[in-house]
Amino acid sequence: MLVDDARGIATAIEERLNASACQGVKATVKAEELRPKTVPAGAGRPTFTNYYIQISDNTRIATLTLGQAEDLHDDVEPDWDPDRLFDAIRAMDVSVEKAD
């Protein structure tokens, strides 16, 4: 279910960005799997998956939780450019890094 939520949020953000001055900025889903190092005898090894939304303009990248991404979606205005977008992401205390 969470993967569907993450995909929906990423799609909604990208649509909102494409309707603004942020055309070309991408929103993608990032999955991170975690497995406990030890499990009780006889138990299977569970896998926990966390989903994030990555926002990238090919020079910068930021990774947001689903809640942060929803908040960002609500905040994006039609006149935002990529600089304004990443300023808003930084204001959420999210790290913005150079893209590879």
Q: Is 100 contained in some domain?
A: no
| Greatest extent of the chain over all pairs of C-alpha atoms, in Å | 57
Mean pLDDT: which of 41-45, 74-78, 93-97 is highest?
Answer: 93-97
- The tens digit of pLDDT for each residue in 62-93 reads 999 999 999 999 999 999 999 999 999 999 99
Distances (CA, A) of 62 to 36, 42, 65: 27, 40, 10
Q: Which residue has better confidence, 9 or 2?
A: 9
Choose among 50, 59, 64: nearest CA to 13.
64
State how far the Cα of 13 lies from the Cα of 74, in Å rounded to an integer: 9
Domain enclosing residue 9, as ranges? 2-95
What 8-state DSSP symbol labels residue 27? E
- Give the CA angle between residues 84, 89, 92 to the nearest 5°: 130
Choose among 23, 1, 5: nearest CA to 69.
5
Total domain count for the chain? 1
Q: Is 78 contained in some domain?
A: yes
* pTM higher than the cut 0.85: yes
